[in-house]
Amino acid sequence: MEEKFEEIINQLLDRGWAEMPDFLDDEFRKALRAEQLALIAEGEFRQAGIGRGTSFQVRPEIRSDQVLWLEPGDLSPLQQQYWQLLDELRLHINRSCYLGLRSFEGHFARYPQGSFYKRHLDQFSQVSYRIVSAITYLNENWQPGDGGELRIYESAADDASYVDIAPTGGKLVCFLSGEIFHEVLPAHKERYSLTGWFRNID
């Protein structure tokens, strides 16, 4: 893991985002995926929205995924294991990037077939405590024609240059929440992930 952490940090420092295939081993990914599927079957997921607090809105023309927030005080053993792994990553990032990351918040996300999330930043307009976004994909056997790529824009100023990242199972993607514009292209089959943010508040 140490080497993976260092590689992620080098990419983050270099270009503001990082991609690490096989961040989760297959057993761990499968177990998290099974947990997510069970929670979906129990009807626990809610339509995702944009904004926070009183400006929260469900806007399916902007984002059409469904989420289940994880409760830091009430994590399953598996979720705890994930939290611990990301906490190690957080400490590594703090050692070399001086971003002052203090905590992590996250949710499972489900993109039903046909859903997407248009170009955006992960920081809210009023508050900026989200510093680094960290997403792991829980998909099984994702194929090139399945869509659902994470499009990372290389410049805030224009839409012309970007990198498309396939949401392949076990992959971690990290990026600077307030700087990197990104988008989820329409998924042609159901797409699963665990999405979270390192924050500079407790």
Give the interface with ligand OGA as residue ranges (CB under 6 A): 109, 117, 122, 135, 150, 167, 182, 184, 193, 195
- Binding status of residue 122 toward Mn ion by CB under 5 A: yes
Distance, CA of 3 to CA of 179 (rounded, Å): 25
Query: 151 pairs with which residues across the strands?
Result: 164, 183
Q: Which is nearer to ligand OGA, 95 or 169 (CB)?
A: 169
Q: Which is nearer to ligand OGA, 3 or 61 (CB)?
A: 61
Tell me the three state secondary structure of residue 129.
coil
In this structure, are residues 192 and 67 in contact, taking their beta carbons and an 8 Å threshold? Answer: no
> For residue 166, which of 16, 13, 21 has the smallest C-alpha distance?
21
Distance, CA of 31 to CA of 142 (rounded, Å): 17
- Binding status of residue 149 toward Mn ion by CB under 5 A: no
Q: How far is the CB of 89 from ligand OGA (least distance, A)?
A: 17
- Binding status of residue 183 toward Mn ion by CB under 5 A: no
- Binding status of residue 65 toward Mn ion by CB under 5 A: no
Q: Which is nearer to ligand OGA, 64 or 79 (CB)?
A: 64
Place of tokens 């961040």: 23
Q: How far is the CB of 31 from ligand OGA (least distance, A)?
A: 20
Which residues sit at the interface with Mn ion, rule CB under 5 A?
122
